[in-house]
Chains A and B, each alone.
Chain A
C-alpha cells in the first residue's frame, strides 16, 4: 500500500464524478430537498414538530445510503469493464484501491452533508447543541461507512440488479432498527440486541447526541464505533478482491 497510489485512485474517481455533473448536482440537492420536505410536512401539525427529532437521524442516513448505492454500482462497473482486472495485474495494493474509493466518496460526502447541514441548521432551524463541525465529521464517517459496505457487498453481486437488491436486504433493516421509528431502548429484546450490532444505530446515536445536549465523549464513542465498522468492512472488502479469478 502506498499513499501515492491511494491518491491516484481517489483522484481518478473524483475526475469521473466531475464528468457527470448531473450526478454531482443530485448528490448535493436531493438531501437538502428531502430535509426541506420533511420540515414542510409537519408545518401545520400542532405541537412541537417531529422534524426536530427526525432530522438528525436523516442527516446520518442520507450519506450512508447514497454512498452505499453509488459505491456498489461503481465497483461493479469496474469489475465488469475489466479495469479492475487490469489494476490487479498492476502493482496496486488492494487497500490502495479500497481506500482510494473511501477517500474520494468521503470528500463527496463532506460536500453533500455540508449542504444538508447548512440547510437544516441555517434555514430550517434544526437545533444543534453540539458542534456543527463535529456533526459534519459524523456525516463523513457515515458516508465512508456506506462506501465500505458498498465495496464489500459488490463482491457478492454479479449484476447491477443484484447490487441494488442489497439495499432493501442490508440497508433498510438498519434504517428500521436505528431508532428513527422506535427509540432503540423500547424495541423488543431480540431486536434491541440486533440493533446494538448494526453500525447505522451508532451513526444515528451520534447525530442524536449532537443535537441533544450530551457530552462530547458520547459522540466520540459512537463515532469510534462507526469508524471501526468502516475499517473492518474495508479489510473484509480487501479480502474479497482476488487477483486471480475463475
Chain B
C-alpha cells in the first residue's frame, strides 16, 4: 500500500477533527468524498506531512509522512491555488522546478498536461479561477511524483475540463502513480477506482464505487452516502 494511516488523531481548538482514523490507499485514483468541513483537507495535510498531528501514524511509500526523502516524491495541491499571482505561469513553474531540482524541460511537459499552452506567458493573477487551479496543479506534476495529493482540484471547473483532468489523473495512475483526489461533489465518485467516503472526521465506507453502491442497495453514491449515514444512526 502506498499510504497507510493508523489511529490518526488531529485536534484543533480542543476538538478532535480526526479521532483515531485508520485507512490504506493503494495505486490508482482514489477519491476522498465528503461534505465541506468533514476533515478531508486535514487528512490530506497529514498525508503530505504539513499537518501537526496528535497521535497515530501516517506512512507514505514506506516512510513516515513529512520525512525529507518524501518531499520530492509527493505532489501536493492545496485547496487555494498556491501559486504566485504576480508571476506568469512559466515563471511560477521555473521557480518551483528550481526548488525541486528538476529539469526545466519539465515545465513544457506540465504546461501541456494541464492544457495551458496558450496561457503560458499570462500573469496567474489575471487568469480565471479554473486556469489558476490548473496552474497550481501543473506545479504538483513537476518531476513526476509517485504520489499526488490533490485537494478539490476540479471544483468549479467546466465539465469538459473536468473530464479532461480526470483523464489526466487516470493517465498518471496508469504510469504507476498513486493519485488521491478530494471532492465534495458526489457526482465525481464514478470517476474514481476507489472511494473513501468521509463524514465528521470518520471514514464511513472504503471500497470501489460499485461495491459501495451494491452494499447500500442504491443506484448512486449520493444515496449510498445517505443510506450509510442513516444506517449508522439506527
Contact = CB atoms under 8 A, between A and B. Distances in A.
A89 B99 contact: no
Q: Interface residues of B toward A: which range? A: 20 to 34
Contacts of A12: 84, 87, 91, 95
A83 B135 CA distance: 13
B113 interface: no
A217 interface: no
Interface in A192-246: 242-246
B83 interface: yes
Nearest to A96: B99
Given A11-B95, A16-B86, A89 B52 contact: no
Interface of B: 12, 48-53, 66, 68, 71-72, 74, 76, 78-87, 91, 95-96, 98-101, 123, 139
A43 interface: no
A20 interface: yes
A244 B76 CA distance: 14
Contacts of B74: 89
A90 B72 CA distance: 6
Contact of A90 (B51, B52, B83, B99): B99
Interface string A1-29: 00011011101100110011000000000
A86 B12 contact: no
A8 B98 contact: yes
Contact of B68 (A5, A11, A91): A91
A82 B82 contact: yes
Given A5-B99, A244-B49, 18 more contacts: A4-B98, A5-B101, A12-B87, A15-B91, A19-B86, A81-B80, A81-B84, A82-B78, A82-B80, A82-B81, A83-B82, A83-B83, A88-B50, A89-B71, A243-B49, A244-B50, A245-B52, A246-B52
A87 interface: yes
A20 B79 CA distance: 27
Q: Please tell me the size bucket of the interface on A.
A: 20 to 34
A246 B71 CA distance: 19
A85 B78 contact: yes
Contacts of B95: 8, 11-12, 15
Interface in A15-58: 15-16, 19-20
Given A11-B95, A81-B82, A82-B82, A19 B50 contact: no
Nearest to B12: A246
A91 B99 contact: yes
B12 A89 contact: no
A92 interface: yes
A82 B59 CA distance: 24
Interface string A159-193: 00000000000000000000000000000000000
Contacts of A5: 98-99, 101
Contacts of B96: 86, 90
B60 to A, nearest CB: 12
A169 to B, nearest CB: 27
Nearest to A11: B95
B225 to A, nearest CB: 29
A91 B68 CA distance: 7
B87 to A, nearest CB: 6
Interface hub of A15, A20, A90, A242 (most chain B Cβ within 10 A) = A90
B211 to A, nearest CB: 33
Nearest to B51: A244
A5 B72 CA distance: 14
B84 A16 contact: yes
Contacts of A88: 50
Contacts of A16: 84, 86-87
Q: Which 8 A-B pairs have CB atoms at the shortest separation, nearest pair first?
A: A82-B82, A8-B98, A86-B82, A12-B95, A82-B78, A91-B71, A244-B52, A19-B86
